A and B are shown apart, each in its own frame.
Chain A
Amino acid sequence: MSFFSFLKQNWPELSTLLRQHLSLVLISTFVAVAIGIPTGILLTRKKSLRGPVLGLANIMQTIPSLALFGFLIPLPFIGGIGARTAIVALVVYALLPIIRNTVTGIVGVDPNVREAAVAMGMTGRQILWQVELPLAMPVIITGVRVAMVIAIGVATIAAAVGAGGLGVYIFRGLRQYDNKLLLAGAVPAALMALSADFGLGLLEKHFSFAGRRKTGAGPRVKLITLGGVAIIALALLFYSGWRNSRSADPAANNDHVVVGSKDFTESVILAEIVAQMLEARGVTVERKYELGGNLPHDAMLASRLDLYPEYTGTSYTAILHHQPITDPRAVYEQVKAEYAQKFGVAVSEPLGFENTFAILIRGAEARRLKLKTISEAARYASNWRAGFGQDFMSRADGYPGFSKAYGLKFADQPREMDLSLTYIALSSGQVDLIAGNSTEGRIAALDLFQLEDDRHYFPPYEAVYLVRQDTLSGVAQLREVLAKLAHAISTEEMRQLNYEVDANKRSQAEVVREWMKRKGFDGL
C-alpha cells in the first residue's frame, strides 16, 4: 500500500486528528497571547518584576512534558485527562516567547517617539494602544510565531494525556514500528508548523510595512478587525474543544465508568475487553486510552480514571519502589495490600498471563535439542549468538544479571539491536537466542519457543486490573466482569490478540469482540 493510498484510506481518522491538533494549538496560542501580552506590558511598567517573571517562564519551559502532565492531572479545573490538561501544558510552553517579545518590542520603541507622545499630551493608555503596541507589533508577532511553532511540536505529546492530535499516529507508529503511521502523524505536523511560520511571517511583514506604506485602512483599524476575527474564530474552536474535553470530568456516578490504558497495544486490548463487557451490561463507558508513562496511575489517584490494566511487577517496582523479588504470589499480595491502604485502589485477580522478558529460541532448535528451560539451554550457549534490545542490555535486571544467574557465555558479545528486529533476526538464523516480550504476537507466527525461567530470575509481571475501590463497590456489573476475567486469558491468547492488532493491523475493538465471542463472554 502506498503512502498516499494509506492516507486516503485513513482520511476520516486523520482529519479528526488534524482538527484536534489544530484546535489544541490555536486555543493554547490564543490563551498564551491573552496572558502573555498583558504580562509583557506589565513587565515594561514594573521593571523589578521583569527578571523574576521571565525567569519563571524560562524554567516552566524546561519542565519535561510528561512530568508536567503528571503534575497537572490531579489539579482541579485545569487538570484531568484530555484536551484541557494538554492546553494548559501548551500554554505553559508558549508563554515565554510571547512575554519576552512583548517586553522587547515595547522597550525597543524609539525613545524620541515615546517622548513626543508624552509631550503631545497623550495619556498612558493612548500611548500604549496608539504608539507602543503598533510599533512593537512585528516583534510581538515574531514571539507568537515562535510560540505557535513550539505548540505545534509539543501538541504531538498531547496524545499521552488522551487529548488526541497527530501525536496519536506518531506514538502508534513508534509502537507498531509502522513508518506509514509515523509519517502520517509527523508530516502533517511539520507542514502545519511550516505554514504557521509562513502565515505569521506574512502578518509580521504587514505590520512592519504599515509603518512606512499607505495601506487601505489605518493600521489601528486593521489591528482591531484582525483581532476581532481571530477572537471569533477561536471562540468557535474553543467551544468545540471544550465540548470534547468536558467529558474529562471525573466519573462520579454509578453507571459511568472511565476505563484507561497505557500507550501500547496490549494495554488497550485489555482495557477494551473490560469496556465492551461493561457496555454489554448497560454501563456507560468512557475510554481514555493510550496514556503515556505512569499517567494512568496519576489519573486514577486523582479520580479521573476508574480502571486500567497494569502488571504486578510494574506496580511493585515503578510505583511502590520496592526492589524486584521473584515470588509472584508475594508480589501480588504486597501490591494488593499497599494499593488498598495507600491509594484506595483494588487489584483484580491475575488475568492468567505475564508480560515479562521471554528468552526465545527457534522452535525447530528447541524440538531438535529437546530444550524446555533456560538452564538446559545454557550448555549450548557457547555455540550461540545472542541479540538483545537496548533496554535489556542496559537494565540491571537485564543482560548483566541474567547471564550471571544462568552462567551464560555466548560465542560472541551479544548484538544490540532494536527489540522489534530481534524476532526476525532469530527466525532467520542471524542470532540464536533473544530476550523478547512474552506476549509478543509474532512468537507463534514465527515458530519461536519460550524457554522457561526455571531459576525465577525475572521478576513477575502478572497482568491485573487496577480499580478504584469506590467504583468497584458502586458498580455491581464491574465486580461481575472482573470475576469472569480472573485467570481467563492465557499467554497464547494474549499473543494472538496482539498479533491480530499489530501484525494484521486490525482494530482493537473488532479483535476484542471476536475474542469475546469465542470465549462465550459476549452474552451476559
Chain B
Amino acid sequence: MNDSTDNPLVAFRDVSFSHASAAAPIISHLTFLVAPGETLVLLGQSGCGKTTTLKLINRLLLPDAGEVIVEGKPTTEWDPIRLRRRTGYVIQEGGLFPHFSVAENVALVPALEGWEQARIRRRVDELLSLVGLEPRDFADRYPAELSGGQRQRIGVARALAADPPLLLLDEPFGALDPLTRASLQREFATLSKSLNKTAVFVTHDVREALLLGSRIGLMQAGNLLLLETPENFLKAKNEQAMAYLETLRVSAGSIQEDAP
C-alpha cells in the first residue's frame, strides 16, 4: 500500500489556479502525491481551496499552470467523461437530482455505463444498506422527502455506485449526527481498506481526519502547510496544526484517549 509512491494515482505538480472573476490565485504552486489505496485527508479553514483541489482532480476545473496527473495522464489529456465515470464524487452541497428517485439517483452512473437492470437493482440495495438506509423504505422516495443527513448519505452511495477506483469526498458526513457519523466512518474505513480504494477526503473535523486519513494535508490559502501521517500530525510543531489539535482537547477532555 505504501510501496508505490513512485507510481501515484493522483499527482499535483506545481499547480496554480485562479477564477476568472477573482484576481488572487485560489491554488498556488500546489504539489503533492496520492498513492494508490491511501486516503488523503484535506483539512483547512473555509475558503482555503479544498473543494477547488478536488475539482481539479476530476477536471471540473483545469489548472492555469502546472499539471494534475491522474493514473499517469494529465487531466488535460483525459476524456473528461471517462475520467469522471472512474472518479466517485461526493458533492459538498449534495447535488442530488430532484426529479430522480433515491434509487435512480444512486443508479445514475451504472445506468450511464449501461449496466443491466437486475445488476443495478442489486447494487442500489447494497449501497443503501451500506449507508444505513433501508432500501425498501427509501428507494422510491424523492430527495425532497429526505432529511439533510439522509440526502448526504445518498450522495455518498451515488459516488460509490459504479465502484470507481478513485473517490473524492467533500465533507461527506458534515450533516450527520455523531452516532450515524461514527458508524459511517467505520464503514468507510473498512471499505477503503478491503476494496483498496484511493480517496481524497475533505473535512473540518480533526477527529475524522485522524481516524480515516492515511495522511493528513493541512491547507491554507491554496497551499499545503503540512502533509503528514496521523502519528506525525499529532506531534507536529506547526502552529496551525497545534491549533486544530487544541480543538480536540477543549471540546472534550476524554477524546484524547480515542486518538490513534
Contacts and interface: CB of A to CB of B under 8 A. Distances in A.
B93 A112 contact: yes
A115 B145 contact: no
Contact of B142 (A113, A119, A212): A212
A509 interface: no
A110 to B, nearest CB: 8
Contacts, number: 68
Given A122-B112, A126-B112, A218-B104, A117 B97 contact: yes
A134 interface: yes
A517 interface: no
B85 A112 contact: no
Contact of A121 (B91, B95, B96, B112): B112
Given A118-B84, A119-B84, A121-B112, A131 B97 contact: yes
Interface string B217-246: 000000000000000000000000000000
Given A112-B94, A115-B95, A121 B109 contact: yes
Interface residues of A, number: 23
Contacts of A211: 98-99, 142, 144
B204 to A, nearest CB: 19
A120 interface: yes
B153 interface: no
Contacts of B85: 120-121
B50 interface: no
B80 to A, nearest CB: 8
Contact of B84 (A120, A131, A210, A214): A120
A219 interface: yes
A120 B60 contact: no
28 contacts: A110-B98, A112-B91, A112-B94, A113-B98, A116-B91, A116-B94, A116-B96, A117-B97, A118-B84, A119-B58, A119-B60, A119-B89, A120-B85, A120-B89, A120-B109, A121-B80, A121-B81, A121-B84, A121-B85, A121-B87, A121-B109, A122-B81, A131-B97, A134-B99, A135-B99, A212-B145, A214-B140, A218-B104
Nearest to B142: A212
Contacts of B95: 112-113, 115-116, 119
Contacts of A116: 89, 91, 94-97
B108 interface: yes
A123 interface: yes
Top 6 nearest A-B pairs (CB, nearest first) are A116-B95, A121-B84, A121-B85, A112-B95, A211-B99, A119-B89
A213 interface: yes
Contacts of A118: 60, 84
Given A115-B91, A116-B96, 13 more contacts: A112-B91, A113-B96, A116-B95, A120-B109, A120-B112, A121-B83, A121-B87, A121-B112, A123-B81, A135-B99, A211-B99, A214-B141, A219-B99
A321 to B, nearest CB: 59
Interface string A374-391: 000000000000000000
Contacts of B94: 112, 116
Contacts of B80: 121
A115 B60 contact: yes
A521 B142 CA distance: 78
A122 B101 CA distance: 18
Interface in A184-212: 210-212
B222 to A, nearest CB: 20
Nearest to A115: B95
A68 B52 CA distance: 54
B166 to A, nearest CB: 12
B63 to A, nearest CB: 17
For B91, B98, B104, which residue has the most chain A Cβ atoms within 10 angstroms? Answer: B98
A118 B58 CA distance: 10
Contacts of A131: 97
B82 interface: yes
Contacts of B140: 214
B158 interface: yes
Nearest to A220: B99
B9 to A, nearest CB: 18
B104 to A, nearest CB: 7
A113 B60 contact: no
B158 to A, nearest CB: 7
Interface in B113-156: 140-142, 144-145
B87 to A, nearest CB: 8
Interface string A95-125: 0000000000000001011011111111100
Interface string A129-156: 0010011000000000000000000000
Find the residue from A113, A119, A122, A126 having the highest chain B CB count within 10 A.
A119
Interface in B39-75: 58, 60
A117 B89 CA distance: 11
Contact of A120 (B98, B144, B145, B158): B158
B58 to A, nearest CB: 6
Highest count of chain A CB atoms <10 Å: which of B81, B95, B144: B95
A272 B99 CA distance: 60
Contacts of B83: 121
B101 A210 contact: no
B99 A210 contact: yes
A14 B96 CA distance: 52
A36 B158 CA distance: 35
Among A113, A121, A218, residue most surrounded by chain B Cβ atoms (within 10 Å): A121
B56 to A, nearest CB: 12
Contact of A214 (B93, B96, B142): B142
Contacts of A134: 99
A132 to B, nearest CB: 11
A148 B95 CA distance: 35
Most chain B Cβ neighbours within 10 Å, of A110, A112, A113, A214: A113
Task: Give the one of A116, A123, A213 with max B CB within 10 A.
Answer: A116
B179 to A, nearest CB: 27
